[in-house]
Amino acid sequence: MDHYYQKDISGCGVIGIINKSGKRFAGDMIKKGMCIMNDRGNGLGSGFAAYGIYPDFKECYALHIMYHNDSSLDEAEKYINKNYKLEKKEEIPITKVKEIGPAPHLLRYFVTPNRRKADKELQELSDDDFVVKTVMKINSESGGGYVFSSGKNMGAFKGVGYPKDMADFYQIERYEGYIWTAHNRFPTNTPGWWGGAHPLTLLDWSIIHNGEISSYGINKRYLEMFGYKLTLLTDTEVVAYLLDLLVRRHGLSIKLACTVLAVPFWKDIDILSNEEKKMLTAIRQVYGSALLNGPFAFILGHSRGMVGLNDRVKLRPLVAGLKDDFAYMASEESAIMEVCPNPEKVWAPKAGDPLIFSLDEEVYI
């Protein structure tokens, strides 16, 4: 009987690179690392996120919006013009790629909240909450417009296609950032479409994810209690919004927020010291609806760093590497070796234990 080699690729591919000294580097590096994992996707989604790419507009929120019809563009721009000071509006530069089918209309807006003209419900909000309200409103009410990036001095670039094609489509090499993340999608129980491609973002949070969030239903209902509207038809959307809720709104550290998302099993909590047991018991009681179940490995990007996290059993691969000022995370060691042939260290983070890389302190101060 013939035997055929079959590779178990465990779904999507992820990669993240940070220069901890804050030095910006071009997108060709992340493209190279992502494309070596081409067989982890099926062409139904890929994307990139980069930090530090808009230094001339670093005080503005950069809204990347995809429009699937003219009426959604009219609705969104009417809202933006009423509630924001518009510093610049432009088409997101693209190059036509034959492998990529019909694309939505892609525009970006550099804006700051304008409370003098804003809707009454927005006037008392912080700038970040102002923008979150905007994202939720456009995504749920415009009838075909989706804000796929909304942070300061950062941007997401994503759609339906393989990584190389998407990188060429968005001209990724022309951008320079100090953090880059990229994703190659193999959708299983959610559709492959432009808005559902990764990264999933909110403000400066960006998430790329390999796996499945089987707790999506309870996570979604929990987030809706706090005003979040989930419209992108993918389970990964809950991770971006949960981090915004836990870190920005509830004031948890990133490390503690990751503990909430991947809190230890009860059997593991029971053998800990009384102090640790008390803290983790409280986390499970207060934030039980924010716990993520299912197999996952994700990389979180934000303006000050990059975080990797596996589920509590490590059912999806994630490896890390270091070289000089650079730190790397990826689904495969091959992706790290492709962009850093001689790393000082390569290792696999432990299950449920967040791996946190931050900018050097003097950089963000």
The answer to whether residue 12 is catalytic is yes
Residue 192 C-alpha from the chain's centroid: 16
Give the model confidence (pLDDT) of 23-70 as tens digits.
999 999 999 999 999 999 999 999 999 999 999 999 999 999 999 999
- Fold entry, domain 13-44+176-364: Glutamine Phosphoribosylpyrophosphate, subunit 1, domain 1 (3.60.20)
| Contact indicator for 63, 84 with CB cutoff of 8 Å | no
Helix axes 254-261, 274-286, angle to 10 degrees: 70
Domains 13-44+176-364 and 54-152 share a fold: no
Confidence label for 344 from pLDDT (cuts 50, 70 and 90): very high
Cis (ω within 30 of 0) for the bond into 191?
Answer: no
What amino acid is encoded at 44 in this protein?
A: L
Give the model confidence (pLDDT) of 117-134 as tens digits.
999 999 999 999 999 999
pLDDT (mean) for 146-160: 98
**Rounded Cα–Cα distance for residues 111 and 87 (Å):** 6
**Rounded Cα–Cα distance for residues 360 and 227 (Å):** 34
Give the model confidence (pLDDT) of 62-81 as tens digits.
999 999 999 999 999 999 99
- Say what the pLDDT of residue 1 is: 43
Give the model confidence (pLDDT) of 289-298 as tens digits.
999 999 999 9
249 has a pLDDT exceeding 60: yes
Catalytic residue among 12, 35, 60, 258: 12
Would you say how long the chain is, in residues? 365
Q: How far is CA 311 from CA 199, 209, 315, in A?
A: 19, 11, 7
Rounded to the nearest integer, the mean pLDDT of the chain is 95
Confidence label for 188 from pLDDT (cuts 50, 70 and 90): confident
Confidence label for 6 from pLDDT (cuts 50, 70 and 90): low
Instruction: Select the CATH number that applies to the domain covering 54-152 from these four: 3.40.50.300, 3.90.600.10, 3.30.70.260, 3.30.70.240.
Output: 3.30.70.260
- Say what the pLDDT of residue 9 is: 53
**Rounded Cα–Cα distance for residues 123 and 84 (Å):** 11
**Rounded Cα–Cα distance for residues 167 and 180 (Å):** 12
Residue 337 C-alpha from the chain's centroid: 23
| Contact indicator for 137, 149 with CB cutoff of 8 Å | no
Q: What angle do CA 243, 21, 57 make, to 5 degrees?
A: 65
Domain boundaries, the chain: 13-44+176-364, 54-152
